[in-house]
Amino acid sequence: MSTVKDYLKRTVSEKWALGHFNFSEDEALRAIVESAVKLKTPIFVGTSEGERKHIGIKEAVALVKAFREEF
């Protein structure tokens, strides 16, 4: 598995961007992850302060872990 540092080095040397996408529900995260898989590109995902209040930090972490395992 590549590290964030590895990906960031690649973005510079290969001249491409690494996207960051916020999610506030599992359907949004699924759409983000499925798109990244289809495009075969790494991504960052996160939540804003407001979204964290909506979804909950533990739930967000659990969703990300579940999607990493699934995809």
Does residue 71 sit in helix, strand or coil? coil
Residue type, 49: E
Single pTM value for the model:
0.84
DSSP assignment string, 19-39? -EEE-SSHHHHHHHHHHHHHH
Per-residue model confidence as pLDDT tens digits over 32-67:
999 999 999 999 999 999 888 889 999 999 999 999
Packed helices 26-39 and 57-70: angle between N→C axes, nearest 10 degrees: 30
Give strand pairing partners of 23: none
Q: Shortest CA distance to 42 belongs to which of 23, 71, 19?
A: 19
- Helix (H) or strand (E) holding 44, with range, is strand 44-46
Structure confidence at residue 52 (pLDDT): 87
